[in-house]
Amino acid sequence: MRSKMRTLLIVFVGSGVGGAGRHFLNTWITRLSGSDFPFGILTINIVGSFAMGLVAGWWAFKSNAPQDLRLFLATGILGGFTTFSTFSLDAGVLIERGQHLSALGYALGSVVFSVLALMAAMALIRSL
């Protein structure tokens, strides 16, 4: 029981840090872009996927980090930072507005570039 509470606390704190970072970056990018297109979350999904590739690649190929650190960084911070529920909401709003091509570009761009970013990061770590 104590171990489960510790795990939940680690993920909880990390998620708060990641969520706050997502909110800050999304607000900043949205203000800079001045657009109805969700550039903030698109950027967050790509950057977050790249960061997850770095973290996962490091653990897989270079390190034996403790489980608590893995939970804090991957499940907590990056899980709180990247969110496809927000992605789905943004795509749905674009569809509701009748911006079908923007919604398609947003969905494809998010998925394709996020997976490519993750693969690039893992390849980078593997090459070190």
> Across the 128 residues of the chain, what is the mean pLDDT of every consecutive 10-residue run?
90 97 96 93 93 89 87 93 85 95 97 96 95
How wide is the angle at C-alpha 52 spanned by C-alphas 55 and 78, nearest 5°? 105
Residue 5's Cβ-count burial label (10 Å; 0-12, 13-18, 19+) is exposed
Note the pTM of the prediction, 2 decimals: 0.79
The answer to whether 79 is a known ligand-binding residue is yes
The single-letter code of the amino acid at 32 is L
What is the predicted pLDDT for the residue at 1?
Answer: 67
What is the predicted pLDDT for the residue at 64?
Answer: 83
